[in-house]
Structure 1
Amino acid sequence: METEIGNKVGTVRSTDSSNNSVVTVKIGYIGGGSRGWAHTLINDLAQCTAIAGKVFLYDLDYESAKRNEKFGNWVQEQDGAVGDWTYTAVEDRAEALEDADFVILSTQDPPAETMAHELDIPAEYGIYQSVGDTVGPGGVVRAMRTIPVYRDIAAGIREHCPDAWVFNYTNPMTICVRTLYEEFPDINAFGCCHEVFHTQEHLAELVAEYLDVEQPPRTEIDVNVKGINHFTWIGEASWNDRDLYPLVERHHEEEIRDRTFEPGELDDESWFVDNQLVTYELFERFGTLPAAGDRHLAEFVPWFLSVGEPAEVQSWGIRLTPSEYRVERQEEALSKFHDPMNGEEEFKFSESGEEGVDMMRALVGVEDLKTNVNLPNVGQIPSLPEGAVVETNALFSQGSVRPLTAVDLPDQVRNMTFPHVQNQETMVEAAFAGDVDLAFRAFLNDPLVTVSIDDAKSMFRELVDAVRPYLEDYWDLDEPAVLD
Structure 2
Amino acid sequence: MVEVKISIIGAGSGTFSIGLVKDLCLTSNLEGSTVSFMDINRKRLDAVYAFCRKYADEIGIKLKIEKTMDRRESLKDADFVVNTAMVVGYAGYRAGWQIGFKYGYRFGGSYHIMHDEGFWINYHQFRLFESIIEDILDICPDAWYIQLANPVLAGITMIGRKYPNLKFVGLCHGYCGIFEIINVLGLDAKYVTYLIPGVNHFIWLTHFYYKGENAYPLLDEWIEKKAEKYWETAPPSSSLGPKAVDLYKRFGVFPIGDTCTPGGGSWPWWYHVDDETER
- How far did residue 63 of structure 1 move? 4.9
Q: Which amino acid aligns with 1:29?
A: I
Q: Distance in 2 between matches of 1:236 and 1:288?
A: 9
Residue 105 of structure 2 is matched in structure 1 by 127
- How far did residue 298 of structure 1 move? 5.6
Q: Which sections of structure 2, spanning at least 5 residues, go unmatched?
A: none
Q: Which amino acid aligns with 2:249?
A: E
Q: Distance in 1 between matches of 2:23 and 2:109?
A: 27
Q: Distance in 1 between matches of 2:44 and 2:230?
A: 43
- Does the CA contact (< 8 Å) of 1:31 and 1:58 recur in 2? yes
Query: Residue 223 and residue 187 in structure 1: after superposition, are their counterparts in 2 closer, same or farther (change >3 A)?
Result: farther
- Does the CA contact (< 8 Å) of 2:202 and 2:265 recur in 1? no
Per-residue displacement from partner, 1:100-121 (whole Å, max 9, x unpaired)? 1121111123446411112222
Identity of aligned residues (%): 21
Per-residue displacement from partner, 1:45-87 (whole Å, max 9, x unpaired)? 3333222211122222345334433443343433xx2211122
Residue 182 of structure 1 is matched in structure 2 by 161
- Does the CA contact (< 8 Å) of 1:101 and 1:161 recur in 2? yes
Aligned mate of 1:197, from 160, 171, 176: 176
Query: Residue 156 and residue 179 in structure 1: after superposition, are their counterparts in 2 closer, same or farther (change >3 A)?
Result: farther
1:181-260 to structure 2, matched below 5 A, reads: 181-203=160-182, 205-206=184-185, 208=186, 215-217=187-189, 220-256=191-227
1:14-413 to structure 2, matched below 5 A, reads: 22-52=1-31, 53-78=33-58, 81-111=59-89, 113-129=91-107, 134-136=112-114, 139-203=118-182, 205-206=184-185, 208=186, 215-217=187-189, 220-256=191-227, 270=235, 272=237, 276-293=241-258, 294-295=260-261, 299-307=266-274, 310=275, 312-314=277-279
Q: Distance in 2 between matches of 1:43 and 1:203?
A: 21
Query: Residue 284 and residue 109 in structure 1: after superposition, are their counterparts in 2 closer, same or farther (change >3 A)?
Result: same
Q: Which amino acid aligns with 1:65?
A: L
Per-residue displacement from partner, 1:178-211 (whole Å, max 9, x unpaired)? 23323322333223333221224304533x3xxx
Query: Residue 280 and residue 76 in structure 1: after superposition, are their counterparts in 2 closer, same or farther (change >3 A)?
Result: closer
Q: Distance in 2 between matches of 1:252 and 1:272?
A: 17
Query: Residue 286 and residue 259 in structure 1: after superposition, are their counterparts in 2 closer, same or farther (change >3 A)?
Result: farther
Determine which structure has the larger helix proportion and give its number: 2
Name the structure, 1 or 2, with higher relative contact order (CA <8 Å, separation 6+).
Answer: 1
Query: Residue 74 and residue 260 in structure 1: after superposition, are their counterparts in 2 closer, same or farther (change >3 A)?
Result: closer
How many matched pairs? 275
Q: Distance in 2 between matches of 1:176 and 1:64?
A: 25
Q: Distance in 1 between matches of 2:95 and 2:110?
A: 10
TM-score (norm 2): 0.83
Q: Distance in 2 between matches of 1:115 and 1:203?
A: 33
- Does the CA contact (< 8 Å) of 1:142 and 1:172 recur in 2? no
SS of the counterpart of 2:208? strand
Q: Distance in 2 between matches of 1:203 and 1:260?
A: 14
Query: Residue 82 and residue 220 in structure 1: after superposition, are their counterparts in 2 closer, same or farther (change >3 A)?
Result: farther
- How far did residue 89 of structure 1 move? 1.8
Q: Distance in 1 between matches of 2:82 and 2:265?
A: 29
CA RMSD of aligned residues (A): 3.1
Q: Distance in 2 between matches of 1:74 and 1:253?
A: 45
- Does the CA contact (< 8 Å) of 1:222 and 1:239 recur in 2? yes
Q: Which amino acid aligns with 2:81?
A: V
Instruction: Return the index of the structure with the highest Cα Rg.
Output: 1
Per-residue displacement from partner, 1:387-437 (whole Å, max 9, x unpaired)? xxxxxxxxxxxxxxxxxxxxxxxxxxxxxxxxxxxxxxxxxxxxxxxxxxx
Moved more, 37-46 or 115-124: 37-46
- Does the CA contact (< 8 Å) of 2:77 and 2:139 recur in 1? yes
SS of the counterpart of 2:270? coil
Q: Distance in 1 between matches of 2:11 and 2:238?
A: 29
Q: Distance in 1 between matches of 2:104 and 2:87?
A: 25
Q: Distance in 2 between matches of 1:159 and 1:133?
A: 34
SS of the counterpart of 1:223? strand
Q: Distance in 1 between matches of 2:37 and 2:176?
A: 27
Q: Distance in 2 between matches of 1:166 and 1:232?
A: 23
Per-residue displacement from partner, 1:321-357 (whole Å, max 9, x unpaired)? xxxxxxxxxxxxxxxxxxxxxxxxxxxxxxxxxxxxx
Q: Which amino acid aligns with 2:266?
A: E
- How far did residue 133 of structure 1 move? 6.3
